[in-house]
Amino acid sequence: MSVCDFGALSIDKEKGLPVVDEEKCTSCGACVNICPRGLFEVRPLKDKRVFVACKNTQKGGVAKKNCKVACIGCSKCKRTCDIDEVVVENSLSYISPKIDADKYGIDLVKCCPTKAIVGINLEENKE
Ligand code: SF4
Ligand code: SF4
């Protein structure tokens, strides 16, 4: 929070995790550079999004033991959408911001056994 000159960062007290205020964030990258866990990434601000909300590179069983929503590197996402925008390495999946969330988003969210894949504004998420 102290490196963000724009007041865009706060901590969700319930989850104990940082939250970015998208209205205030200028994509300066200071949080990306300072986080010792490498949790931040600057991604284009798109209405529809799909991403892996995990940076845990521990092997599947260990990751699962430590966090029930961790990516366990099972590669189901890669098998579901065998495209360049989905990469699984070191027991961790990464979904590029270049992915067509409209086309692949719902399938990716549904296929993940741990719910590590998050979708925003995908059609089936709208109530
Ligand atoms: S990218 Fe810059 S403005 Fe945005 S949350 Fe990180 S430090 Fe703050
Ligand atoms: S399906 Fe989920 S748990 Fe499996 S590799 Fe992909 S993001 Fe990780």
Which of these, 24, 58, 57, 28, lies nearest to 40 by C-alpha position?
28
Query: What separation in Å is there between the alpha carbon of 107 and the centre of ligand 1?
Result: 30
Q: Where are the domains of the chain?
A: 1-42, 45-127
Instruction: Please name the residue whose Cα sits nearest to atom 3 of ligand 2.
Output: 71
Kindly report, residue by residue over 4-55, the tens digit of the pLDDT: 999 999 999 998 999 999 999 999 999 999 999 999 999 999 999 999 999 9
Q: Which ligand is nearest to the CA of 2?
A: 1
* Beta-carbon count within 10 A of 83 CB: 15
Q: Quick check: 86 pLDDT over 80?
A: yes
d(CA 52, CA 70): 9
Note whether 1-42 and 45-127 share their fold: yes
pTM above 0.85, yes or no: yes
Task: Report the mean per-residue pLDDT for the chain.
Answer: 95
CATH of domain 45-127: 3.30.70
Q: Is residue 30 helix, strand or coil?
A: helix
Q: Which ligand is nearest to the CA of 58?
A: 2
CATH of domain 1-42: 3.30.70.20
Q: How far is CA 90 from CA 33, 58, 76, 93, in A?
A: 21, 8, 15, 8
